[in-house]
Amino acid sequence: MTREDADAFSSALRAAYPRLHFASREHWRTFVDWDWWHAAWKLHEEREKDGLPTEFVRHRMRHPRNEPPRYWPSLGVAEEREFYGWILPEDWVAQWGEEDNFGVRRIVNPPRLEFFFRRSRFHCRDRSPRRETVWFDDPPEPRDDDETIVLEGGELEIQWNRYDDEAEMFAKAVFRILFKQATDRFIQIEYKSRRALTGEPWRNRRYGAAGRRAEAWALARRHNYLDGGQLEKPASYPFAPDDVFSAEEFAAIKAKWKAELEEAVAAEARKGKELAEKWRREAESK
């Protein structure tokens, strides 16, 4: 999901659940004295560099008492990517636990109806002097027609007790809202050649869906891809004939992958045998 997708998803969720609130996954951070922590950490690094003894730098977090965490207006806000969605009961009051080893307190009574959401982000390889992947919250402009830009997969996770009918209904409703705003049919792409493995789309809602803005972005340019574990394009993308593997090419590359996997498994088995033999000889020599 892009930020725009996340905004639309948030609006639809709130229309269905007026008591839904979005809190940061690390909701404790707003109660930390960050100025003090950065100064303390800088001193820690200076002492460590000079070879002087140092102490572990804990967070200086004020006790929130019954104060709730900060709530965000949308899952698409630029300041955060990871959220909890909570349906707050009318009498719910936040209860904060004891400090952990890092000086952090967390809410110990989260609402029963909740989900976790991590928003997608874009990335390009080799855009830094160190040839590392560079990440973007909004789609970057391509440097040329051939540059590969990828929108990584996000996450929507809901857990519930199998005997809790209300929580199960909530989870199913959230996913129904999601799939009304998403596509779930994709063409898989071979990474090196960036050609479609087959013209037949695949569909598995458990592992992949893309918001409408993400779909439009992937359709707008040949080398804009979605990442669902491997490169993908929406099923409606109009591939040129040469951009799709023939049946013979597809069979050949599957045979190649099979051989590479078998060789990797055999290599690991050989390493295991060699290590076991080494340990046996060491034990006999004692």
Lay out the sheet containing 71-72: strands in order across.
71-72, 20-24, 82-87, 114-118, 155-157
- Cα 19 to Cα 90: distance, rounded to the nearest angstrom: 9
Q: Check pLDDT > 70 for residue 129.
A: no
Nearest to residue 159, comparing CAs of 115, 94, 207? 115
Residue 193 contacts residue 222 (beta carbons within 8 Å): no
Calculate mean pLDDT across residues 142-156. 91
Q: Any bridge partners for residue 71, and if so which?
A: 23
Give residue 192's pLDDT: 87
- Residues 94 and 69 sit within 8 Å (Cβ to Cβ): yes
Nearest CA to 1 out of 178, 203, 259 is that of: 178
pLDDT tens digits for range 199-243: 888 887 776 789 999 999 999 999 999 997 789 999 999 999 999
Tell me, rounded to whole angstroms, the distance of Cα 157 from its chain centroid: 11
What is the pTM (predicted TM-score) of this model? 0.83
Quick check: 9 and 1 in contact, CB under 8 A? yes
DSSP 104-165: ---BSS--SSEEEEE---EEETT-STT---EEESSPPPPSSTT--EEEE--EEE----TT-H
Contact 137, 3 (CB under 8 A): yes
Domain ranges (residues) in the chain: 1-26+66-119+155-182
State the pLDDT at residue 84.
96
* Whole-number pLDDT of residue 204: 72
CA distances for 183 relative to 187, 211, 212, 230, 238, angstroms: 12, 6, 7, 17, 16
Q: Which amino acid is at 90?
A: E
The model's confidence at residue 131, banded by pLDDT at 50, 70 and 90, is low
**Residue 59, token pair as written in the block:** 């967070």
Report helix, strand or coil for 66: coil
Number of Cβ within a 10 Å radius of residue 171: 19
Please give the pLDDT value at position 128: 63
How far apart are the C-alpha atoms of 182 and 210, rounded to whole Å? 5
Mean pLDDT of all residues belonging to the chain: 91
Q: Is 22 helix (H, G, I), strand (E, B) or coil?
A: strand
